[in-house]
Structure formats: C-alpha cells, structure tokens
C-alpha cells in the first residue's frame, strides 16, 4: 500500500495536528479513535477522493507524465465525490436479461426521434451540409447519432463529470484502467480549455454534450466547426456536428459506400460460424455466397462484410450484412444493436426528407 505523500494537506483530515498543538491527551486519544474509525470504513464512504492512497499515486503519476502541479490535482480531486448512482448505472444486471433487438430498436425508432431529427436537420441544414461535404459522411448519419445519443441535445446528462469519472476510476475495479485514462484526459482537457475540471457535466460514464464524447475522444477528435476558437459541445451542436463527422471519417468511413443490408441465409446455413468471425467486415462476397449468405434478392454481398444477427426472443432473428461503414459506427459505441439503430434512424430520416422534398415540389 502506498503511503499518502506529504504534498496532501487537506485541512479536513482529522489526524492532522498543527505545530504547537495544545490539545489534551484525552482529545488526542479521541482524535486517534476517530481516525481509526475512518480507516475501518469502506473506502468509498470517505468524503474526499484526495484522501485515498491510490488517488495520491494517480496524482503523482499524472504530475510526472504531464507536468501537472500535484497540489492543483489534489485540490480538484478533493472536490470529487463518490456517486453511488454512477456505480448502480454502470453495473450490469446480476441476472443477464434477455437481449431483444425489437425492444432496443423501439427506444430509438420512435416519433420523438424522427420528428425531432427532421426539425434538427432543418435548423442545422447548412452546418450538416458542410460537415458532409468536408468529411464525406451523410448528414442523416450525423443527425441520427445526435438523436440516439442525446435526443438532439435534450438529454446530455446531469452528472458532474469529475465525480463520475473519479467514482469509476477508483471505485469500479472492472473498468478502473479505462476510467483512470478518461480522468487523466479530463484533467488535460480542462488545462487545454482553461476550465476548472469540476465545471463539466454529462452522462454517468463521463460522456459530454451533444455527441457524448468521452474526454479522450474530445482531445483526439473534436473539431472547432464554428471556428470560434474553442470546442463547445453544450451550447449548440455546431462543433458536435463537425466532430462526429470527423470521428467517423478518422475511423475509416467510406463516402457513398453502403452501411448494411438485409441478408438471406439459405436453409441449413451455419450462421453462427460466420457470426463468430467477428464484427470487422472480413468475409468476402464469394465466401459468404458459398456458405449460403447473400443479399435478400440473391445478389452476393456488395463488399467485404460481417454477418450480423439481431435476436428477439419469440421472433425470427434478423440477419444483416454489415459493411465497413457499419463497423465504423460500432467504433462510436461497440454494439451491433447500437449501429443498426443509428443506421435505421438515419434511413428513416433520409426517406422522410425525400418524401417532404417531393411533396414540396408538387405544391
Ligand atoms: Ca467552437
């Protein structure tokens, strides 16, 4: 166990005695009792993260790696509070629920997201058009991601990011490594943006603003798309629109290439073996065809593909051919349910827009 380094100087620490302390032996004994009582509490019950040895080790690591002032990090982390809601929300249910594609899909393919998406598209048409032109990603995919992530900015999360990330970094061992890196990225981001690390808020998992980027993604992929000299994911979606397009581009989005299409499996096809090949599109159209997998109309797959199965209990499994762009959407959120919801919502928006345009022409 690492001992607390002397740089820590929280006035709230009960064991601390000032020089020339004049307290009576009895009071000193009380103080020792209080401090041993504190030590016997679960660490998460302690008020401040800065009081924890692993946090102090983390502070020293960051100070060394990025030339931070340890006292500044210590001050910031002494403001971070353990949030039990964060742990509750990140913890997978003890009994694994039944995965249902139709349940998942119905959360995103609803009138709120479709009508909201059309309004968002109209309002930000010029920005979406510019992002689409600059990065080669269709407007409807950008709109759809913002819709799925935050209902067009309505639902960006009310968790204090510093406390959420400290809670996950120090009190959620299964993903501590990931969230320590995000906490590190938050400190770097705050320094780069000249902001107090405690001034950010977002999802329970540390995702921020319209696009729900984690701090590390903001540092790597955020684009100042309104060119006002700073990244702003909260006030309006302009930077988010550019950043999502750039993120997808940087992860290999192929302009004008297909995302996914429904697959047909010939009777007796061993879908499971093909699905086991993974989410990256590595199966050739010839190989898929020889295994009995084609597009719905019997054509071979359009390109290298992955076979995606979308299961719903009590219903027939949907099979899809996922192409490179489908894989790229899973880089935003590593789930084929997520990527398919983004794609379907984007398609619904694209078709609605087409219909609206045709109607407008007829008038
Ligand atoms: Ca900006």
Let me know if residue 69 belongs to a domain: yes
Let me know if residue 175 belongs to a domain: yes
Encode pLDDT of 279-337 as tens digits. Answer: 999 999 999 999 999 999 999 999 999 999 999 999 999 999 999 999 999 999 999 99
Please name every residue paired with 295 in a beta bridge, in sequence order, or none if there are none: 263
Q: Is residue 118 over pLDDT 70?
A: yes
pLDDT at 10: 33
pLDDT at 300: 98
In the chain, DSSP assigns E strands to 159-160, 201-202, 260-265, 293-295, 306-310, 318-322
Looking at 149, 182, 184, 261, which residue is catalytic?
149
CA distances from 181 to 7, 62, 90, 165 (A): 23, 10, 17, 9
Q: How far is the CA of 306 from the centre of ligand 1 (A)?
A: 37
Q: Is residue 40 over pLDDT 80?
A: no
Q: How far is the CA of 285 from the centre of ligand 1 (A)?
A: 43
User: Which residues are found with C-beta within 5 Å of the ion, ligand 1?
Assistant: 224, 226, 228, 232, 239
pLDDT at 98: 80
What's the pLDDT band for 94 if we cut at 50, 70, 90?
confident
Average pLDDT, the chain: 89
Query: Which CATH number covers residue 183?
Result: 1.10.8.350
- Domains: count for the chain: 1
pLDDT at 26: 53
Let me know if residue 75 belongs to a domain: yes
Entry pTM: 0.86
Let me know if residue 344 belongs to a domain: no
Let me know if residue 172 belongs to a domain: yes
- Which CB contacts under 8 angstroms, 24+ apart, belong to 25-30? none
Let me know if residue 354 belongs to a domain: no
Can you give the residue range of the structural domain that contains 67? 47-79+162-199
- Mean pLDDT for 227-249 is 97
pLDDT at 363: 84
pLDDT at 12: 34
pLDDT at 13: 32
Active-site residue, 149 included: yes
- Mean pLDDT for 204-229 is 98
Let me know if residue 156 belongs to a domain: no
Q: How far is the CA of 231 from the centre of ligand 1 (A)?
A: 4
Instruction: At 177, list the tokens.
Output: 């490594």
Cα–Cα distance, 233 to 79 (Å, whole number): 23
Of 82-96, 124-138, 194-208, minimum mean pLDDT range: 82-96
Let me know if residue 74 belongs to a domain: yes
Pick 33 or 195 by higher pLDDT.
195
């Amino acid at each position: 166990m690492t001992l607390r380094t002397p740089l820590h100087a929280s006035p709230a620490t009960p064991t601390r005695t000032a020089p020339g302390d004049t307290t009576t032996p009895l009071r000193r004994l009380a103080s020792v009792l209080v401090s041993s009582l504190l030590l016997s509490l679960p660490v998460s019950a302690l008020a401040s993260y800065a009081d924890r040895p692993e946090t102090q080790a983390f502070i020293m690591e960051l100070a060394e790696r990025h030339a931070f002032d340890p006292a500044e990090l210590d001050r910031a982390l002494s403001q971070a509070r353990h949030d039990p809601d964060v742990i509750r929300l990140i913890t997978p249910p003890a009994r694994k629920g039944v995965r249902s594609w139709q349940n998942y899909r119905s959360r995103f393919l609803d009138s709120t997201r479709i009508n909201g998406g059309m309004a968002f598209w109209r309002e930000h048409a010029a920005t979406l058009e510019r992002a689409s032109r600059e990065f080669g990603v269709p407007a409807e995919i950008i709109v759809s991601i913002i819709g799925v992530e935050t209902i067009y900015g309505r639902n960006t999360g009310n968790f204090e990011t510093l406390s959420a990330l400290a809670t996950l970094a120090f009190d959620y061992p299964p993903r501590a490594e990931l969230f320590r890196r995000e906490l590190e990225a938050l400190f770097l981001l705050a320094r780069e943006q000249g902001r107090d690390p405690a001034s950010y808020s977002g999802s329970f998992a540390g995702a921020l603003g319209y696009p729900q980027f984690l701090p590390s993604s903001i540092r790597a992929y955020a684009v100042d798309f309104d060119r006002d000299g700073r990244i702003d994911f909260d006030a309006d979606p302009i930077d988010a629109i550019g950043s999502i397009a750039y993120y997808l581009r940087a992860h290999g989005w192929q302009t004008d290439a297909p995302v996914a299409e429904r697959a047909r499996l010939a009777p007796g096809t061993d879908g499971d073996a093909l699905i086991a090949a993974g989410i990256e599109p590595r199966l050739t159209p010839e190989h898929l065809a020889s295994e009995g997998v084609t597009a719905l109309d019997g054509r071979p797959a359009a390109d290298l593909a992955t076979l995606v199965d979308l299961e719903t209990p009590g219903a027939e499994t949907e099979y899809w051919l996922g192409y490179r762009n489908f894989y790229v959407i899973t880089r935003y959120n590593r789930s084929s349910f997520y990527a398919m919801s983004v794609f379907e919502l984007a398609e619904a928006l694209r078709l609605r827009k087409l219909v609206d345009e045709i109607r407008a022409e007829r008038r």
